[in-house]
Structure 1
Amino acid sequence: MSTEKDLGTFISDPENLSEGSFYKNSDSVNSDGNPEEEVEKLAQSMGVNQRSLMRKIDLWVVPPFCLLYFLSFLDRVNISNAKLYGLAQDLNLTGNQYNIALTVFFVPYVVFEVAANYCIKFVKPHIWLSALIVSFGAISIGMGFVTNFGGLVACRFLIGITEASTFPSIFYLLSTYYSKAESQRRFSAFFSCTALAGAASGAIAYKIHDLDGTHGLASWQWIFIIEGTITCGCAFILFFTIADFPEESRFLNDNERTFLKKKLEILNGTKSAYEIKNSLKDVGKCFKDILIWLPALAYFGLIIPSYGYAFFAATIINQMGYTAVSANQHSVYPWLAAFVLINITAFLSDRFKRRLPFAMFASVLAIIGLAMILGATEDPHVRYAGCFLTASGLYTAMPLIVCWAALNNGSHIRKSVGTAWQIGFGNIGGIIATFIFLAKDAPVYKPGLSTCIAAVCFSMLCTTAYFFTIRRLNHLKQTENYKIEFEQMEEREQINAGDRNPKFVYLY
């Protein structure tokens, strides 16, 4: 068999895995000892205190990313709060124009995800991401001065372009600092900022109502202006604090960078492949792999109800009998409940080194919540309780699935493409979400809520399929045929294939 066998074909079908092979490992990767013991010996030999180093990484890596995505999500969903304060009326929006304004954000957001993650290897992350933050903050300010539907659509489209890189790039970068067993609580701490941003959006909107008419501007305009200004200001702070890849990290010394890289090679069973300059052909090969597609489909199923909730929760609460101001206030509390559950579940998931049970639990919780909102049409208290379960379940399940997939991708190119495609393709669900909650269906929104329940069920099916696929691959990679043919592949292809290394164990 030729050692030039196309890796994309090789990895696209689990049945073909015993016909390929892969990679001349470094000594650390090849070792057959206990990985944790090897890492401890490595730390002693290099004079590294692992706990101190981990605290240092947690301090320098996670908080800036939390702030970055908090700002990103805040500027993305504040349009729902602005709508309650008269945006649609002042801009003379008719029919489904509000829904269209929501939709145009997702078109460039989906299209540019993979390209953005590809570019971040060529432009240092702290430069790339802080420039994007300034951009979408400025555009958000501009939304406060639009006077018609066309201006609103243009701003939403530009925000979609500038935000395309934020979410997948953060997951990509985080996955290069932590091992599989360390990752979930860090990923979820970052992702829980989505819940905080949702809560803050409602709380800020609640307070901003008092500015209505100040300097001739309506309260909905002040929402965009104030939140956009905060974003631009924070961008300058983030320029100095956003972490680059570990190999070029500014807060680690040479010894710490070397240790971290070797540690992750030992624990993951693969080289990082950071030094390899990947081509578009390498990117294309990734798309032939079922492990790139199943997590993307699972995330897609969760995005539909998640954005449906983010964009329309305040409106639903408003139609339960609350005033617009009170609806913004009451929209805060389900987000806070979600923040708590996200982090508790993440801690337990890392503690037990399991992903599937917790993802399924969160998904079931979301289904129960959506069913309560759908079914209790005459009881606003039950519908409001359903909002707590819906937000908590959805926003807990999403980081579990994204982190699970990101850490199961073993090389830089697979992490880059995998995270970008999962989030990019998944956000097609955002387009669907904007058109299933139509004004004519208020206040029950039966078609939208029914679609959301079906979407979560679809996500659970894809998540289950992913679980069985990687479990089977874990067994298949231990066969002699797989190991022998693995060794025959060219080194560059072996490294790029990452998690297909026999020593890489998929977490599930």
Structure 2
Amino acid sequence: MSKSPIEKTSSTESPQNDVEKTFSNNEREDSFIPDEEKIRQTTELAQELGINEKKLMWKLDLCIVPPFILLYFLAFLDRINVSNAKVYGMAEDLNLKGDQFNVALTIFFVPYIIFEIISNYSMKKVSPHIWLSGCILVFGCVTLAMGFVKNYSGLLACRFFLGAAEASSFPGIFYILSTYYTGVESQKRFSTFFSCTCLAGAAGGAIAYKINDLQGVHGYNSWQWIFIVEGTFTAGLAFLLYFIIPDFPENARFLNDVERTFVKRKLEIHSVQSGFEVEYGWKDIFNTFKDPMLMLTALAYFALVIPSYGYAYFSPTIIKEMGYTAVSANQHSVYPWLAAFGYTNIIAVASDYTKIRSPFAISSGLMAIVGLALVLGLHDNAQGRYAGCFLVATGLYSSMPSLVCWTALNFGGHLRKSIGTANQVGFGNIGGIISTFIFLAVDAPRYVKGLSIGIAFTVFSIIIMLVMVVLLNRRNRIKQTDSYKERFFAQDEKAIVLAGDEHPTFKYLY
């Protein structure tokens, strides 16, 4: 694998005499800036521009986080509702045989994986509020259409277009969020948004529980009403999202000119120059992929996705196999999601307070391993397996936002944030394909294969995260060497801006 500039040795290279020229008349910083100095510079900037930082932060939180919570809540709800529909007899009504249900789950991820990087790139061309609200409108309409499918082919077609429409949501949201908040501000916001997946999982079970009352109304079965109700709700709210989804800070509609200037310069103080105005092409994107960190972050997320989606798609079925009725299984699937929601936000506050990321992501992964082991090992104890579900949901759905936030904050500048987040989520969701084939009906009620594979991949993710900690620590040390600084500033100004986090002043978090 090709090495990034940070990984390459340069001790034999000749010093560059005209390094300063690459920044034209701008002052060059070439060492880590202490956090206290960043805070001081930010305070001075706020005073200079007449900005009340606390008031502006509240404005950002109210205008950025809630729209994204709503957007992804709708997307995740419509993605996993197929598992609730299966409990209510969808597979029997559509005459699904063998692994056809698993294939229907899998087909979602094919366009989802392909279009994520394209989507993030497209948001530089089309305003995010137009792009994302349009995608969620399509997503809602396709979900609604799933309520009227008559056979396996129709289900496959709908699942394919669902994947294409939702490809924009997850990496796009993390990309935009990372352009508004500094490292010490981000985890709470990232986890607040991400934990809506837990609420969506809980809401999916709760809605399915109540929708059972609609069985036979107007000639439709309860599983059809799940798609009809949730699809209509999603498509309707897409029109609201058009007006409230934020664009990038440089052209955010809810900020005035002074506020835009402050947010942009504040992020540059705490990170690096954003490079929003710099045009980049496919060659620049290809060069970004030479950094091995992109593959490591993607692998770590990929390994967590497998057990996470396995749980999201099959938890109602697993709980039903513990002896509950179909209606009761959907009801009982709610509570582990609620526990995951609470825990995710608690550790987010702790992570921002301590300014560390990896210990929380790793410890949550260990919790998930314990939970998976309980569900696997206590095959004669329904209550013990159900307790394991709490640990699985809580561990996996708190580890993933910690990992993705950690990743997004360690990519600097629009190019590397865009490609880094999309690649992590896009490649990671290949794990979604695997997850749909490890919980097979023939393995019920113990699901030994699926649970064992989930444990193995969670362990693998933890190992990759430990490798990332070592590599990021090494990179921070290399950045302080004169040879690295000389080589970095010998590039032209565009290359320096697009290099983002490889700038010597950028300190990686771990």
TM-score, normalization by structure 1: 0.96
1:101 is the counterpart of 2:104: yes
Matched letter for residue 71 of structure 1? L
Aligned-partner Cα distance in 2 for 1:276–1:392: 41
Which segment is superposed worse, 279-288 or 21-30?
Answer: 21-30
**The residue matched to 1:462 in structure 2 has which SS?**
helix
Cα 1:312–1:439 change in 2 (3 A) is same
Provide Cα deviations, 1:6-60, integer angstroms capped at 9, x if missing partner: xx96616714476899963844967967111011111111111111111100000
2:448 pairs with one of 446, 449, 464: 446
1:366 is the counterpart of 2:368: yes
Provide Cα deviations, 1:352-375, integer angstroms capped at 9, x if missing partner: 000111111100000000000000
Identity %: 57
Please say if residues 6 and 484 of structure 2, whose CA atoms lie closer than 8 Å, have aligned partners that are also in contact.
no
1:175 is the counterpart of 2:168: no
Cα 1:408–1:205 change in 2 (3 A) is same
2:459 matched residue in structure 1: 457
Please say if residues 18 and 476 of structure 1, whose CA atoms lie closer than 8 Å, have aligned partners that are also in contact.
no
Please say if residues 29 and 271 of structure 1, whose CA atoms lie closer than 8 Å, have aligned partners that are also in contact.
no
1:210 matched residue in structure 2: 213
2:475 matched residue in structure 1: 473
Aligned-partner Cα distance in 1 for 2:8–2:490: 18
**The residue matched to 2:273 in structure 1 has which SS?**
coil
1:330 is the counterpart of 2:332: yes
Aligned-partner Cα distance in 2 for 1:486–1:423: 29
2:493 pairs with one of 491, 496, 502: 491
Please say if residues 101 and 156 of structure 1, whose CA atoms lie closer than 8 Å, have aligned partners that are also in contact.
yes
Structure 1 alignment gaps of length 5 or more: 1-7
Please say if residues 19 and 482 of structure 1, whose CA atoms lie closer than 8 Å, have aligned partners that are also in contact.
no
Aligned-partner Cα distance in 2 for 1:366–1:12: 36
Aligned-partner Cα distance in 2 for 1:201–1:463: 31
Cα 1:486–1:15 change in 2 (3 A) is closer
**The residue matched to 1:278 in structure 2 has which SS?**
coil
Structure 2 alignment gaps of length 5 or more: none
1:56 matched residue in structure 2: 59
Alignment of 1:373-412 (within 5 A): 373-412=375-414
1:252 pairs with one of 239, 255, 271: 255
Aligned-partner Cα distance in 2 for 1:306–1:119: 28
Cα 1:493–1:19 change in 2 (3 A) is farther
Please say if residues 272 and 410 of structure 1, whose CA atoms lie closer than 8 Å, have aligned partners that are also in contact.
yes
2:188 matched residue in structure 1: 185
1:507 matched residue in structure 2: 509
Please say if residues 308 and 433 of structure 1, whose CA atoms lie closer than 8 Å, have aligned partners that are also in contact.
yes
Aligned-partner Cα distance in 1 for 2:241–2:30: 39
Aligned-partner Cα distance in 2 for 1:198–1:233: 20
1:198 is the counterpart of 2:191: no
2:417 pairs with one of 405, 415, 418: 415
1:80 matched residue in structure 2: 83
1:312 matched residue in structure 2: 314
Aligned-partner Cα distance in 1 for 2:433–2:65: 29
2:228 matched residue in structure 1: 225
Aligned-partner Cα distance in 2 for 1:18–1:186: 41
Please say if residues 147 and 226 of structure 2, whose CA atoms lie closer than 8 Å, have aligned partners that are also in contact.
yes
Provide Cα deviations, 1:74-95, integer angstroms capped at 9, x if missing partner: 0000000000000000000000
Please say if residues 12 and 290 of structure 1, whose CA atoms lie closer than 8 Å, have aligned partners that are also in contact.
no
Matched letter for residue 267 of structure 1? H
Please say if residues 10 and 483 of structure 2, whose CA atoms lie closer than 8 Å, have aligned partners that are also in contact.
no
TM-score, normalization by structure 2: 0.96
Aligned-partner Cα distance in 2 for 1:271–1:89: 56
Aligned-partner Cα distance in 2 for 1:133–1:65: 11
**The residue matched to 2:362 in structure 1 has which SS?**
helix
Aligned-partner Cα distance in 2 for 1:235–1:183: 26
Matched letter for residue 445 of structure 2? P
Aligned-partner Cα distance in 2 for 1:436–1:205: 24
Please say if residues 28 and 266 of structure 1, whose CA atoms lie closer than 8 Å, have aligned partners that are also in contact.
no
Provide Cα deviations, 1:188-217, integer angstroms capped at 9, x if missing partner: 000000000000000000000000000000
Please say if residues 6 and 475 of structure 2, whose CA atoms lie closer than 8 Å, have aligned partners that are also in contact.
no
Provide Cα deviations, 1:130-165, integer angstroms capped at 9, x if missing partner: 000110100000000000000000000000000001
**The residue matched to 2:387 in structure 1 has which SS?**
helix
Matched letter for residue 390 of structure 2? F
How many angstroms does 1:419 deviate by?
0.3
1:123 matched residue in structure 2: 126
1:298 matched residue in structure 2: 300
Please say if residues 109 and 432 of structure 2, whose CA atoms lie closer than 8 Å, have aligned partners that are also in contact.
yes
**The residue matched to 1:312 in structure 2 has which SS?**
helix
Please say if residues 29 and 265 of structure 1, whose CA atoms lie closer than 8 Å, have aligned partners that are also in contact.
no
How many angstroms does 1:506 deviate by?
0.5
Aligned-partner Cα distance in 1 for 2:51–2:6: 41
Aligned-partner Cα distance in 2 for 1:50–1:475: 33
Aligned-partner Cα distance in 2 for 1:473–1:403: 19
1:37 pairs with one of 37, 40, 57: 40
1:143 pairs with one of 131, 143, 146: 146
How many angstroms does 1:483 deviate by?
1.2
Aligned-partner Cα distance in 2 for 1:405–1:376: 35
**The residue matched to 1:177 in structure 2 has which SS?**
coil
How many angstroms does 1:485 deviate by?
1.6
Aligned-partner Cα distance in 1 for 2:284–2:378: 51
Please say if residues 23 and 493 of structure 2, whose CA atoms lie closer than 8 Å, have aligned partners that are also in contact.
yes
Cα 1:81–1:17 change in 2 (3 A) is farther
1:277 matched residue in structure 2: 279
Matched letter for residue 234 of structure 1? L
2:7 matched residue in structure 1: 14
2:352 matched residue in structure 1: 350
**The residue matched to 2:4 in structure 1 has which SS?**
helix
How many angstroms does 1:423 deviate by?
0.2
Matched letter for residue 110 of structure 2? V
Matched letter for residue 282 of structure 1? D
Which segment is superposed worse, 70-79 or 279-288?
Answer: 279-288
2:484 matched residue in structure 1: 482
Q: Please, what is the CA RMSD of the aligned residues?
A: 1.6
**The residue matched to 1:502 in structure 2 has which SS?**
coil
